[in-house]
Chain A
Amino acid sequence: MSLFFAKLWQALVSGLSIGSIYALIAEGYYITFVTTGALNFGQGEFLMIGALFGLTCYVTFGLPYAVAVIAAVLLTGVMGAALERGAIRPVMRHALSLSWVLSTVAVSIILKNAAVNLWGPEQIKFPSPFGEAVLQIGSAGIFPQELFIIVAALGTVFAVQMFLRRSLLGKALIAVAFNRNAAAVMGINVPRMVVFAFVLSSALAGLGGILIAPITFAWAYMGTVPGIKAFAAAIFGGLENPIGILIGGLVIGLLEQLLGMVNSNLKEGITFFFILIVLAIRPTGLMGRREITKV
């Protein structure tokens, strides 16, 4: 019995930590979706770059973990600006409304190739800055990195929301998201804000990567699945609802880990089955805005 509870505890903590990573990436989807109607399908590859570049800074260059985190966030942020200029802006004028899906996927494919060239195809161990020792809480063994992930990721999600709601720049970004024309006639430089949205979104993915790498591995193919699952989290909550997205991330993380206790095959498929059911019932997500057709 106590073994069961130990496992349950571990699953809960793992679920929350992986779920808060999903939420972190998914908030990035939210920021660009509300400002441009597009999002980066290669968000997972930005996470991967964050992890691998962080690894290089932390292990190869021996920089402190905090510095490595900042470096990873900066690099992915700059890449976000490049993504907007190279793969989003040129296709948003096109008649085909979902061109950005393929253009961002194309960028992600290129990034994977680059990662293999630079870091090789193998899985690389990322040493946790908190050591490898398992924290014994009651009968449950928990990695300190997992607790750190929960605090750091959820703290960042919260900080980003505060930034958007309280700071002038954040308010301007929300204004652009709500109504581009109205924001433009306020004197807000809309194209620049759109770049900023992609910078912010990509930096969040980069942060997610360097946070999660110590409990997984760092390698070129690490990003695809978390990227897609974070997308599922955003869709679950409703792409326009940051609170819904947070809940979506945590629910999906927990669901996976708890079902993983029963059967590891279930763990892999459940997210997608779940999201199909949700969308069949609520086509704009559980907490999404209902669409009113304007005629």
Chain B
Amino acid sequence: MGLSMLSIEGLKVAYGHVEALRGIDMAMKQGEITAIIGSNGAGKTSALMAISGLAPVTAGDIRFEGQTITRRRPHDITRLGITHILEGRQLFADQTVEDNLLLGGYTRLPHNRVRVAELMEREMTRFPILRERRRQLAGTLSGGEQQMLAIARGLMSEPRVILMDEPSMGLAPLLVKEIASTIRALRKEGATIVLVEQMAATALRLADHAYVLENGRVKLSGTGAELARMPEVKRAYLGG
């Protein structure tokens, strides 16, 4: 542990005239959970999308295990071992649960069907409800089930880095707890996790390290516990 898995330097992202990130630096250590918090529009999602190749990077560098991945195409980045569990699940709603998982393992297909079957088995063990619903269309699942499927689908590519965008969005408190324990379990399995959350309290509790974004810049950083104690964080995001 302790090695920098993912590092970001001077990253800028802009959509047309609108700058979403104005130069941020971050480092995500191997085996740790890094949380990114901030208000809507602060640039949290843009940061994840820049890492996974979905957002237009205008300046800066993103390194994965020392190798630069800036502006590489999203499908190549996935193949390198980074998975992105998108905000709002973004499942393939008109396809079955099984097909969603299958597509999650797309990087290994069509050559390694056996491995994909094993992985699918693993994910259905992690989330038994998915086994029950395997033939159902993803769009017919409940919110919590959809989030589980989104996570399972993301894990099908056997990633070393997991980018998670608001996994708790729209979920009832009990389900939020369940997702949180899943994230902890993934950390135990050795994954490096980058977690974007609006529920700042939950995120800071989970995180080894955290960044507060404001208007496209890093405003604060520190361990989860440190940030949770800072008055300005409490005032802005924790309602304290």
A263 interface hit (Cβ, 8 Å): no
| Chain A contacts for B110, CB-based, 8 A | 168
Among B78-86, B119-127, B167-175, the stretch that binds chain A is B78-86
B92 interface hit (Cβ, 8 Å): yes
- A174 to B52, Cβ gap below 8 A? no
Closest Cβ of chain B: how far from A181's Cβ, in Å?
5
State in angstroms the CA–CA spacing of A189 and B74 once bound together.
Answer: 8
Determine which of B91, B92, B107, B153 lies in contact with A174 in the assembled complex, contact meaning CB atoms within 8 Å.
B92
- Chain A contact surface mostly: helix
B68 interface hit (Cβ, 8 Å): no
Determine which of B94, B106, B153 lies in contact with A172 in the assembled complex, contact meaning CB atoms within 8 Å.
B106
Interface size on B, residues (CB 8 A): 28
Closest Cβ of chain B: how far from A97's Cβ, in Å?
15
- A178 to B94, Cβ gap below 8 A? yes
- B78 to A186, Cβ gap below 8 A? yes
| Chain A contacts for B103, CB-based, 8 A | 171-172, 175, 183, 186, 188
A147 interface hit (Cβ, 8 Å): no
Residues facing B in A173-212 (CB within 8 A) are 174-175, 178-179, 181-190
- A184 to B75, Cβ gap below 8 A? yes
Closest Cβ of chain B: how far from A182's Cβ, in Å?
4
B224 interface hit (Cβ, 8 Å): no
Per-residue CB contact flags for chain B residues 67-106 toward chain A (1 = under 8 Å, else 0) read 0000001110011000110100011111100010011101
| Chain A contacts for B31, CB-based, 8 A | none
- B93 to A178, Cβ gap below 8 A? yes
Known: A175-B92, A187-B78. A181 touches B107 (CB 8 A): no
Determine which of A174, A181, A187 lies in contact with B106 in the assembled complex, contact meaning CB atoms within 8 Å.
A187
B34 interface hit (Cβ, 8 Å): no
| Chain A contacts for B73, CB-based, 8 A | 184, 189
- A186 to B99, Cβ gap below 8 A? no
| Chain B contacts for A184, CB-based, 8 A | 53-54, 73-75, 78
State in angstroms the CA–CA spacing of A171 and B94 once bound together.
Answer: 10
Closest Cβ of chain B: how far from A96's Cβ, in Å?
15
| Chain B contacts for A168, CB-based, 8 A | 102, 106, 109-110
Known: A168-B110, A183-B103. A188 touches B94 (CB 8 A): no
Q: Residue of A at shortest CB range from B104?
A: A186
- B78 to A174, Cβ gap below 8 A? no
- A185 to B74, Cβ gap below 8 A? yes
| Chain B contacts for A187, CB-based, 8 A | 75, 78-79, 106-107, 157
A-B residue pairs in contact (CB < 8 Å), sample of 11: A171-B102, A172-B103, A174-B95, A179-B92, A181-B54, A182-B86, A184-B75, A185-B86, A186-B104, A186-B157, A187-B106
Residues of B within 8 A of A (CB): 52-54, 73-75, 78-79, 83-84, 86, 90-95, 99, 102-104, 106-107, 109-110, 153-154, 157
Residues of A within 8 A of B (CB): 168, 171-172, 174-175, 178-179, 181-190
Given A171-B103, A182-B90, A189-B75, output 4 extra A-B contacts at Cβ < 8 Å: A168-B102, A182-B86, A186-B106, A187-B106
